[in-house]
Amino acid sequence: MPVTTDELLELHGRIRACTACPLHATRTQAVPGYGPVTARIMAVGEAPGETEDREGKPFVGAAGRLLTRLLEEVGLDRRDIYITNTLKCRPPGNRDPEQSEVEACSHFLDEQVAMLRPDVILVLGRHALGRLLPGAGTITRLHGQRVRRGTRVYVPLYHPAAALYNASLLETLQQDMRLVRGYLDAAEAERAAVLKAQAQQAISAEPPADQMALF
């Protein structure tokens, strides 16, 4: 059963009220995530930065603007994507997340993934990679690849913040986004083929017209 916007908002409410780790004491506000409950794509970053902590939305600072641009370059609209982070609260001074913080926050991301059941999860940077695909390999090795785990499909990507001032990383990220577009198009074609086959099966299972009169 698909979840409703109300159910997702209820989860966002629990995230905003969370005091499970010390980050709640230094945050301005928690940043649960943003995007439609119907999103087929989910993007997971590291943690809110200063702008996100102030505005309560993920990826709204400089890295977020680059993310928006990278998505648009391959014809994707960020309003169709559910965007969130590994940590929902800003670490002071944007330091790296601590393992205890990742663990305390972990169940929220699990709930978000279980609710949305996205076709693909864009894994932005090494912290999200460590959280979502532990032991799979480094971002340098895995970026741009489709990684299947159970029923989920992940694509690790360099974090947009890393590409802000690094032209060659930016080019790699742009190439990887084109791969993402290809994966999505392939998934869409697969879904259309399944629906067509199901429709054909339903038609051939219908009794012939002369038998219909018996019903």
Q: Which residue's CB is nearer to ligand URA, number 35 or number 58?
A: 58
Least separation in angstroms between residue 64's CB and ligand URA is: 6
- The single-letter code of the amino acid at 32 is P
Return the beta strands (E) in the chain as ranges. 41-45, 81-85, 120-124, 147-149, 152-157
**AA identity, residue 175:** Q
CB of 52 to ligand URA, least distance (A): 4
Rounded least distance, CB 97 to ligand URA, Å: 10
Residue nearest to ligand URA (CB): 45
Q: How far is the CB of 140 from ligand URA (least distance, A)?
A: 18
Q: Is the Cβ of residue 47 or residue 157 nearer to ligand URA in the bound state?
A: 47
Strand runs labelled E in 14-165: 41-45, 81-85, 120-124, 147-149, 152-157
Which C-beta is closer to ligand URA: that of 64 or that of 203?
Answer: 64
Full strand arrangement of the beta sheet holding 152-157: 81-85, 41-45, 120-124, 152-157, 147-149
Which positions lie near ligand URA, rule CB under 6 A? 45-49, 52, 58-59, 61, 63-64, 85, 161
